[in-house]
Chains A and B, each alone.
Chain A
Amino acid sequence: MDRRISLVVIDDHEVARKGLAAWCAESDPPIHVVVDGASVDIAFHGLARTADVVVLDLQLTPGLPTLDGLQRLVAAGRRVVVYTQIADDAMAVRCLDNGAMAYVTKAEAGEHLIAAIHAAADGRGYTPPTLGGAMAGNSDPQGPSLSIQEVTALKAWFASRSKSMAAKSMGVAPATIHTYIDRARAKYAAHGRPAPSKSDMVRRALEDGLIDLSELGDADRP
């Protein structure tokens, strides 16, 4: 990536916003926080309108987290990385269905949030361990159908938090684990309700040769 990534950070805690801005400044390639604030509205004004990625805290007001903000941003064609206090597998899967590029819990933010922002800027989904576990454990019969290897890789990634240990447990190369996880992620992107961000991810997965059209049987469902 040869240009700076521009980012909008939406979180109701100033400390979290400043901390994330500090991480972004140190990242490579660098990420520039254009604007940060406590409301989804800030993403629709001025420079923020053209920012590459939006980081969104699901729980902006005390109480239950809502998907309203995510839906508004995704409908406007934005690439959103959900960033949350809550490790809830059902909520994680709903965020994917609504077009989130990634779901990163605050506990794993240090290791995975920057990588998730880079991937989102590039039109790719990103799967931290908690999200991998949520995808593997999703028992919804309407959900995308994953292969046994994909489920095994997601579970091993969730349990061990190490792609190389997951690879050892399956007797494959770490790159293969990557492929299994990314394929599963692409299947989730191709599944369910349409969204611009999901189309981006499917297109990238096709370009990367992760999946082919025959595996997207349900991608064109209304």
Chain B
Amino acid sequence: MASMTHRGITAQELLHGLRLAITTIAGTVLLTASLPRKLAAHDHLTPQLGAYATLLGLLAVEIVLLVRRRDWGRLRGPALGLTLAASILSTWTLRPEYLTTSTDWSFGTTGWIGVILLYNRPISLLAAFLVAHEAVTVARVLTLPVDRDFVLNLVAGSVGTVGFPLACGLASVALRSIAALAERAQAETAAIRTADAVATARHAARQHRLALLDAAVEPLLQGLADGGRIPTDPAVQRDCAVEAARLRRMLAETDLSDDPLLHELRHGADVAERQGLLIEFETVGIWSAPSVEVRRALLDGPLAALSGARSWARVSVIGTGEALSVNVVADGTGPVAPSPRTDVEYLVVSEDDTTWIEARWTAASRSS
């Protein structure tokens, strides 16, 4: 599946290929023009050579821009002006009888330079340019006494002068829209693939969390369902409170929060608060967010202890440069399993009916 993405042609590449084709056509037309072969036919050779050199120069600039994958940009306007000037110069210095014949080299070539300059602009601009170029010749023809053959020659020649470049321009419009479609399709494919990957990862994370929960929740629910465990039993009530707090904490794990540790701790403590416990919450110092595994280890012990509180509890978080600790002090405590990680220590101190549990993550394990 993934290898297909690399084979998709991008709009940029498609448009570059189009420009290469147009430049090749224009280059071929210009280099095979009749002027070099019919130098003797011209009365005024200098303006003809000047016009030809101008178009060759523009072709050379196009080749440089093409190789560098740059657009004409601000040069486009002056280049169009030069092209039309070359057309005028060549047409108006030609011997009248050669107009629209094979000796009138600029009549058939100038339009292609126009296509080079305007292939990626609105088609109306190219059409206007071609009409202007055609008008140069028509204007000259109108100053002369013309017969029917001459007019027919002009019309037939115009098919090549205006028709072919315009057709090429129209083709480029079609290709450009295909390129845009291809780009959109590719973006959609990428978006779908990303959404797929996110959904897969999210599903895996959810499965993992459910597996963690199942280990403890399933036997509890089964016990309640088959009557093996009685809801009035304080131990059962405590187990339920612990699992409810864990469930809330795990749901909070996927929330976006500036401080995920505090966010998850508040969710866990909230369950205890709903059971009528008076909870005090205090934090001091600063810390950077630990990984989700470290957060689980830091919170599981204190939240389990919290589930055994009878009437009040004090929850605190202390961050110093060396350590991060989560503390619960309460009147009574639930059973606390050993810490699941070696870098998170649990410390339990009891006095009279007050118990303090500290889960401490030490600096030795923190990457510096």
Specify which of A107, A134, A137, A169 is in contact with B349 (CB 8 Å cutoff): A169
Residue of B nearest to A132 (CB): B284
| Contact call B284/A134, Cβ cutoff below 8 A | yes
Residue of B nearest to A130 (CB): B282
Q: Quick one: which of B274-312 are within 8 Å of A by CB? A: 280, 282, 284-286
Stretch from B56-64, B184-192, B197-205, B314-322 that touches the partner: B314-322
In the assembled complex, how far is the CB of residue A177 from the closest CB belonging to chain B, in whole angstroms?
12
| A188 beta carbon closer than 8 Å to chain B | no
CA distance A25 to B327 in the complex (A): 36
| Contact call B318/A160, Cβ cutoff below 8 A | no
Most buried by A among B318, B321, B325, B329: B318
**A130 partner residues in chain B, CB cutoff 8 A:** 282, 284
**A87 partner residues in chain B, CB cutoff 8 A:** 282
Type the 1/0 row for B246-289, where 1 means its CB is closer than 8 Å to any CB of A: 00000000000000000000000000000000001010111000
| A172 beta carbon closer than 8 Å to chain B | no
| B52 beta carbon closer than 8 Å to chain A | no
Tell me the interface secondary structure of chain B in the complex.
strand
CA distance A74 to B216 in the complex (A): 58
Type the 1/0 row for A121-143, where 1 means its CB is closer than 8 Å to any CB of B: 00000000010011011110000
Contact A137 B318, CB 8 Å, known A130-B282, A159-B356, A165-B356:
yes
Q: How many residues of B contact A (CB 8 A)?
A: 20
**A165 partner residues in chain B, CB cutoff 8 A:** 349, 351, 354, 356
Contact A137 B327, CB 8 Å, known A165-B349, A165-B356, A169-B347:
no
CA distance A168 to B316 in the complex (A): 19
Q: How many residues of A contact B (CB 8 A)?
A: 21
| B358 beta carbon closer than 8 Å to chain A | yes
CA distance A138 to B286 in the complex (A): 8
In the assembled complex, how far is the CB of residue B289 from the closest CB belonging to chain A, in whole angstroms?
16
**B327 partner residues in chain A, CB cutoff 8 A:** 159-160
**A137 partner residues in chain B, CB cutoff 8 A:** 284-286, 318-320
| Contact call A136/B329, Cβ cutoff below 8 A | no
Most buried by B among A89, A138, A159, A164: A159
Contact A161 B284, CB 8 Å, known A137-B318, A169-B358:
no
CA distance A149 to B356 in the complex (A): 19
| Contact call B354/A139, Cβ cutoff below 8 A | no
Contact A139 B321, CB 8 Å, known A161-B329, A162-B354, A165-B349:
yes
Contact A155 B356, CB 8 Å, known A133-B282, A161-B329:
no
| Contact call A136/B280, Cβ cutoff below 8 A | no
CA distance A160 to B319 in the complex (A): 15
Contact A133 B316, CB 8 Å, known A89-B285, A107-B280, A165-B349:
yes
**A81 partner residues in chain B, CB cutoff 8 A:** none
Contact A133 B318, CB 8 Å, known A160-B349, A165-B351, A169-B349:
yes
Type the 1/0 row for A149-163, where 1 means its CB is closer than 8 Å to any CB of B: 001000100111110
**A159 partner residues in chain B, CB cutoff 8 A:** 316, 318, 325, 327, 329, 356, 358
Contact A155 B325, CB 8 Å, known A134-B284, A137-B320:
yes
| Contact call A89/B284, Cβ cutoff below 8 A | yes
| Contact call B285/A136, Cβ cutoff below 8 A | yes
Residue of A nearest to B355 (CB): A165
| Contact call A158/B321, Cβ cutoff below 8 A | no
CA distance A26 to B280 in the complex (A): 28
A sample of 13 inter-chain contacts (CB < 8 A) reads A89-B285, A107-B280, A130-B282, A133-B284, A137-B318, A139-B320, A160-B327, A160-B356, A161-B314, A162-B356, A164-B351, A165-B351, A168-B349
Q: A137-B320, A159-B316 are in contact. List 20 more A-B contacts (CB 8 A).
A: A89-B284, A133-B282, A133-B285, A137-B284, A137-B286, A137-B318, A138-B285, A139-B286, A155-B325, A158-B282, A158-B284, A159-B327, A159-B358, A161-B329, A162-B329, A165-B354, A168-B351, A169-B347, A169-B356, A169-B358
Interface set of A (CB-CB < 8 Å, partner B): 87, 89, 107, 130, 133-134, 136-139, 151, 155, 158-162, 164-165, 168-169
